Amino acid sequence: MAYETILVETKGKVGLITLNRPQALNALNGQLIGEVNTALDGFEKDAGIGCIVITGSEKAFAAGADIKEMQSRTFPETYLDDKFEPWDRIGQRRKPIIAAVAGFALGGGCELAMMCDFIIAADNAKFGQPEINLGVIPGAGGTQRLTKAVGKAKAMDLCLTGRLMSAQEAEHSGLVARIVPLADLMSETLKAAEAIASKSLPSVLMAKEAVNRAFEVTLNEGLRFERRIFSSLFATADQKEGMAAFAEKRKPDFKNA
């Protein structure tokens, strides 16, 4: 597949997607989101891939949905097209996805980063939901995922004022898992992705599913779900291998089985 708006590579067991519309600070148009989904489809099907990374440039992860593409749309077009359905699919992937964010992650860019399982930010990253400055509101999950990540006070502050948040503030408020120097962003992110990809894939997928369940259900239902998932992993050969390797003081050789 020839991509025009992204670059797609594999690095060992890691699938890497680089958003690549530098002339528009990686503004997310329909073509780009379609290409990201095509690349993700490929990585999800590829048994050799255990983790995916989405990144942008040093200046911008993505400066939002493409405003120029949206500006002339009417209400019926926007509502009937369900423009964000392909975006939703990014957030519903089974394999883990890390967002490696440098520079601007604004509007849809912040929302795309939040659809990933966690964010590693360069020290120059800036996050925000500035849609209010355009006379609209976030449309791809910003009001929901940001609120769950940072709480009501900060989410209201960002969504109502449109101000941007530094990497440090984003880390303190729980949006970002780690901050690294800009020069180390890709090496550190790939190290984390390789670590994930070296685990047993069934346990990785189930860990992701169980953590996400915490956002959907009551604590007791979540605990029951976790217990069932935990028990089910004892049906895998990788559980036997992982625990035998610990007892024998050696590295496990997981077979994703």
Please identify which of the residues 111, 141, 170, 192 carries the catalytic annotation. Answer: 111
Q: Give the Cα separation of 101 and 120 in Å (integer).
A: 6
**Residue 66 binding ligand CAA, by CB under 6 A:** yes
- Token duo for residue 168: 């440090």
Footprint (CB under 6 A) of ligand CAA, residues 69-128: 104, 106-108, 111
**Residue 130 binding ligand CAA, by CB under 6 A:** yes
Q: By C-beta, is 146 or 190 nearer to ligand CAA?
A: 146
**Which of 81, 213, 90, 210 lies closest to 141 in space, CA to CA?**
90
Compute the C-alpha angle 181/186/189, nearest 5°.
95
Please identify which of the residues 56, 113, 128, 131 carries the catalytic annotation. Answer: 131
Cβ at position 84, least distance to ligand CAA in Å? 7
| Coil vs helix vs strand at 93 | coil
Q: Tell me whether residue 111 is one of the annotated catalytic residues.
A: yes
What phi and psi, each to the nearest 5 degrees, are found at residue 3?
-95, 145
**Residue 159 binding ligand CAA, by CB under 6 A:** no
Q: Tell me whether residue 108 is one of the annotated catalytic residues.
A: yes
Q: Tell me whether residue 65 is one of the annotated catalytic residues.
A: yes
From the list 27, 39, 52, 54, which residue makes contact with ligand CAA (rule: CB under 6 A)?
Answer: 27
Which residues face 9 on adjacent strands?
A: 16
**Residue 32 binding ligand CAA, by CB under 6 A:** no
**Residue 56 binding ligand CAA, by CB under 6 A:** no
Count of H helices and E strands in the chain?
12, 10
What phi and psi, each to the nearest 5 degrees, are found at residue 164?
-100, 155
Q: Give the Cα separation of 151 and 159 in Å (integer).
A: 12
From the list 15, 64, 202, 252, which residue makes contact with ligand CAA (rule: CB under 6 A)?
Answer: 64
Cβ at position 245, least distance to ligand CAA in Å? 45
Query: How many residues make contact with ligand CAA (CB under 6 A)?
Result: 21
Q: By C-beta, is 63 or 185 nearer to ligand CAA?
A: 63
Q: Give the Cα separation of 202 and 196 in Å (integer).
A: 12
Please name the residue that has the structure tokens 């392909």.
Answer: 86
Stretch that binds ligand CAA, among 2-10, 43-51, 61-69, 225-233 (CB under 6 A): 61-69
CA-based radius of gyration for the chain: 19
Q: Give the Cα separation of 36 and 28 in Å (integer).
A: 10
Q: Tell me whether residue 100 is one of the annotated catalytic residues.
A: no
Instruction: List, by residue number, the catalytic residues.
Output: 65, 108, 111, 131
Site of interaction with ligand CAA (CB under 6 A)? 24-25, 27, 63-68, 104, 106-108, 111, 130-131, 134, 138-140, 142
